[in-house]
Amino acid sequence: MPRAAAILRAKWELGLNGGVLIANPIPEEYGMDFDEMEGVIRTALEAAEAAGVHGKEITPFLLAKVKDLTGGDSLDSNIQLVFNNARLAAKLTGWKIDIKPASAPLEPIEEPEEDLFAEEAPADEASAEEAEAPVEEPVENETAEAPEEI
């Protein structure tokens, strides 16, 4: 997690505009069979076309149709994905969260135990030189390595 925080900190310190995409897959235990979902989505798209659904109405239509075709399992999976995204956001910011039902009373949020965006002091002089070394930009037509998995 500290590597993701370091990447975000560097982006902000450089004054770079735009967003950052952090991929966070659904927890495996809540995932659904790929081939089954492909068929369900195809069926939902066909139903939308047959019903003449377009524009801003397409997403709610497809979500409802997929939910119906999966007996609610897709909704359960999507809810778990939202929870997992909230957990990751909390880890990235260092905040503690406890996901509770919407009906639960709100409680004050605690401060993070550590500042994940604080500068880390180098362990020795060699580390200090490495920390100050310029970042090498990828050469055209080369692929930069993907960051470690979060």
DSSP codes joined into one string, 15-66:
T--S------PPPGGG---HHHHHHHHHHHHHHHHHHT--GGGHHHHHHHHH
Same domain, 86 and 15: yes
Burial of 66 (0-12, 13-18, 19+ CB in 10 A): buried
Same domain, 77 and 119: yes
Same domain, 37 and 24: no
Distances (CA, A) of 89 to 51, 116, 127: 38, 12, 29
Same domain, 132 and 87: yes
Same domain, 28 and 42: no
Same domain, 50 and 7: no
Same domain, 25 and 47: no
Tell me which of 150 and 60 has the higher pLDDT. Answer: 60
Same domain, 43 and 89: no
Same domain, 15 and 89: yes
**Model pLDDT for residues 44-102, shown as the tens digit of each residue:** 999 999 999 999 999 999 999 999 999 999 999 999 999 888 888 888 777 776 666 55
Dihedral sign for Cα 95, 96, 102, 104, please: negative
Confidence of residue 141 (pLDDT cuts 50, 70, 90): very low
- What's residue 108's pLDDT? 55
Q: Which of 1-5, 61-65, 69-73, 145-149 has the lowest mean pLDDT?
A: 145-149
Q: How many folded domains does the chain comprise? A: 2
**Model pLDDT for residues 13-52, shown as the tens digit of each residue:** 999 988 888 888 888 989 999 999 999 999 999 999 999 9
End-to-end CA distance of the chain: 6
Instruction: Tell whether the model's pLDDT for residue 131 goes beyond 60.
Output: no
Q: Which of 82-96, 105-119, 127-141 has the lowest mean pLDDT?
A: 127-141
Burial of 130 (0-12, 13-18, 19+ CB in 10 A): exposed
**What's the domain range around 119?**
1-32+73-101+108-150
Same domain, 83 and 114: yes
